[in-house]
Amino acid sequence: MFIATKKQDGCLLLEPRVIVSAQLKDQVLSELHDTHPGIVRMKAIARSHVWWPQTNRDIEYIVNSCPSCLCVKKSPSSAPLHPWTWPSKPWQRIHVDFLGAFLNKMFFCDCGRSFKIARSV
């Protein structure tokens, strides 16, 4: 359990972190976010040095509303390409799909190894 103790210069500590008042919270958030470290790193820095009610929520909000942070946000890794094996005979593998609406019609397309057919449906 943490115990709040008064320290010099009127700072209240939640050992070992400084309790930040509501008036200074935005300024501290701005300092934490200055280099756009991302949610995880920003929370780690905050947990080491400061505390206020809803710290995590406020950090998540500021990072998720920052266009710079969203641009560099880690994207899910793309799946590796897996090429199809080349079919050895006709009709071994076909690809079908709907195409349209084109000229107010829907087309059913089937594309095999050596042919491409589109039929209006």
User: Would the pLDDT of 8 be above 70?
Assistant: no
Of the two residues 115 and 17, the one the predictor is more confident about is 17
Cβ neighbourhood burial of 46 (10 Å; 0-12, 13-18, 19+)? buried
Taking only the tens place, the pLDDT of each residue in 49-93 is 999 999 999 999 999 999 988 887 776 777 788 887 887 887 777
